[in-house]
Structure 1
Amino acid sequence: MSIFVSHSNSTWVDEILSNGLNLGGFTLPENVVELILSKVPNEDILNCKLVCHTWKDIVARNSFLKLRFEEKGLNWNSIPDKFKSDSKYRPILHAHLRHGILSKNYVRNSSGQDEFRGWQKIAGDWIVSQEPFGCEPLPTSTFFKRVGQSCFVLKSYKGAKCYCIDLRKEGLTPEILELMLPFKLKFSQLYAASSSTPTMFKWSIVMWNEQKDFRRKYSSPIKILPSGKWQKVEYSFKFGNNARNLKELKGLRQIFLVNEVYTENTSTPDEIQRDPLNVKFARACVTLELLNSEPDESSSQAVSMEGGHD
């Protein structure tokens, strides 16, 4: 886009500057300029603010942001009013436009729909099945509607895999996290088993800072019963506006999800061959959810690992 301004007519210049865009001598109304700018890529929109005062004002309007939300299929009405009414929260809105920080699952390959992309197989014989076998189908879900019926399957007597989330790459910088306080990071995982072998599932959540020191850790062993039914585990790390959490968020960088499976009693190779574990995992999920009030710190069960290692 180009702006053509002649300095020979000050009234005409004022008119152009007041509307922001002139093409071939025709001045476009501001609402049309707003519609055009709503199509500009996220990485270029900040440059549009430098063109003139009018464009800067347009880009800052809620009506403009609403157009951009609709363009990307994001629900503008689901955004808290305080984020819309105070300009200091604009970085959150732009981060949501670019990264979807308020509505996405941060585990991009939650059920093996893209094989093992993003997952690291630490131990054991893992495969991806396009649909569960030996157990019931995955329950219906509006959130996971595009994932289908795929799942991870462990076909050995023990195994482990993990997934790493880089918060900065996902749009969750320390500045954005601080603006969104209070909030919680919610974790969930579905699992099922058809094996008759007694099995333990240990799921762990570890949060690291930039120096690779633990910030928080949660780990819970769960006995898996061979019912063939999908079970769900959940946990949340909550963050409030207190000195400890603010310090914690400044260096927060990565989240590791770890799935570890092992038998209570070691089976012989022949028994494993006849009755492999076939423990299944699907719909690993990490979401960020805003809180209406400050969390009760005493209710947290997570182990604080600030400044140290296991």
Structure 2
Amino acid sequence: MIRRRAAVLGAAAVVDLAMGELPNRWHPVALFGRAAGCFDRLLTSEGRRDTATRGVLLTATAVGLALGAAMGVVRAAWGRGAAGFVLEALALKQTLAIRALFGHAGRVADAVEAGDLAGARAAAAMMVSRRTDDLPPGLVASAAIESLAENLSDSVVAPAWWYLAAGLPGAAAYRAVNALDAMVGYRSRGRFGMVPARLDDVLNWLPARLTAASLVLVRPLPGARQVRRLVRDARSTSSPNAGWPMAAMAHVLGVRLEKLEHHVLHGAGREPGAADIRRAQRTGALALAAMALAGATMCWRIDG
């Protein structure tokens, strides 16, 4: 079973790298987001308060829909040999965003290299939720590197981990929770947004730390003191998980990553530029390759 899942995951990654994302009007995650947005508005319309109970209802309903769809695909694929394998791989691919992630970062680097600050800001705005229209080049590069590092976990490692652990329903449930966190898991939504946000924290706890460890594995740090500084920086961000891959990337590249009025990671590092975005892409790709190799080896031994 686990070998088959590893093979399906590998096929899904190849499809993602070859084809990229579907248009938003057809993408299952985008369709899910629109449906969840409609239900969100229904729950909180006419002056209804953003209560935790309604947050639980939204989360349970949305995750239930994702689980139901995934289980339908699994049932359709069961016993259908190669056709079932392909169907499951295509469904799993929709939870991954490898090509899109590296492509967005590359567009920021291209614009910074060309001296097109407005273009770099616009490209960075596609990756992060912070305002980018007044950022200097160093902070634009910082935003791109931070987003690349964080989404290595959120958009690649975490769905892959949950697929290997719990099959397609696990990956779909994770992606549903992660999408809800992006939609309503901010502080202005209070206890309503707290529900998907805390659940996302739980589901991302291990993938975020695996991602950070893999980044350090492929670009080792010079000593224990630097590792302690990385851990300190990882714990300084508002998110219990996002700080780990971001701090790891900052330290292995030797750059200072900053989100104004929020955090500074590796404050002693130099200001990042376009070349550092390229290095972040290469480092992220190496880390994913290392995790893929380690995962494939473990899956082979488990089923052996």
Q: TM-score, normalized by length of structure 2?
A: 0.27
**Larger-Rg structure:** 1
Relative to its length, the structure with more helix (as a share) is 2
Q: TM-score, normalised by structure 1?
A: 0.27
Higher RCO (CA < 8 A, seq sep 6+): 2
More strand by share: 1
